[in-house]
Amino acid sequence: MPLSDDSKAQAGTSNEYLLAVTVGERKPLNSTVYLAPYDHYWPKQFALQASRIRDALSEKVLLLEHVGSTSVPGLSAKPLIDMVLAVSDSADESSYVAPLESLGFVMRIREPDWFQHRMLKAPEPDGNLHVFTVGCPEIDRMLAFRDWLRTHDDDRKLYEETKRQLAARIWKDIQDYADAKSEVIHDILARAQRSP
């Protein structure tokens, strides 16, 4: 899932919450998390998906960006292309879901109480498409985090080391791994947001 803010942290990502917001069956991880070395092909994979999304949704795409670890050169990551899409109203699924499903995207997360967030699994290349309403502050946080890591090697290395340590553990659910990164993400974002 995308970066957390205080309201989401308070809601938590308990098993009950995850079951409530997941569309379809939740699949436990019960394993470590694989982090691949940075791959220069990841931006090309994003560009391929972005082209498909823009073709399917045309003017409904108000913003479409590559986010997450695969968008940061030099950063190891789960080989999964994370994307953020802004539409005029993410709660209005009828305006964008069917065209994306025709491309092979599958709705997996529906969070009406957290910025009306929707997440669709992308077809090959594997990825997650996070959908928010244009102007949502979570989009700004995702982009600020990405941009900071792209230009601050010390925090990129800190984030990578934290991810490596956490990835080596056995996790019941991938969301548990994501939640465990929250503290370092919060600290890095605080530095990014204080910067002029």
Our measurement of the distance from residue 139's CA atom to the centroid of its chain's CA atoms, rounded to an integer in Å, reads 10
Q: Is residue 36 part of a domain?
A: yes
Determine the pLDDT at residue 11: 46
Whether the predicted pLDDT of 5 surpasses 60 = no
The reported pLDDT for the residue numbered 158 is 98
- Determine, yes or no, domain membership for 154: yes
Instruction: Provide the CATH number for the domain around residue 78.
Output: 3.30.460.10
Q: Is residue 43 part of a domain?
A: yes
Answer whether residue 76 is part of any domain: yes
Domain that holds residue 20: 6-194
- Within a domain: 1: no
Compute CA distances 118 → 30, 67, 132, whole Å: 25, 15, 7
Band of residue 195 on the pLDDT scale cut at 50, 70, 90: confident
pLDDT of 1 higher than 50: no
pLDDT mean over 141-154: 97
Within 10 A of 14 (CB to CB), how many other CB atoms are there? 11
Number of domains in the chain: 1
Q: 122 pairs with which residues across the strands?
A: 127
Q: Is residue 60 part of a domain?
A: yes
pLDDT in tens, 15-61: 889 889 999 988 889 999 999 999 999 999 999 999 999 999 999 99
Dihedral of the alpha carbons of 113, 118, 121, 122, in degrees to the nearest 10: -160
Residue 108 has pLDDT above 90, yes or no: yes
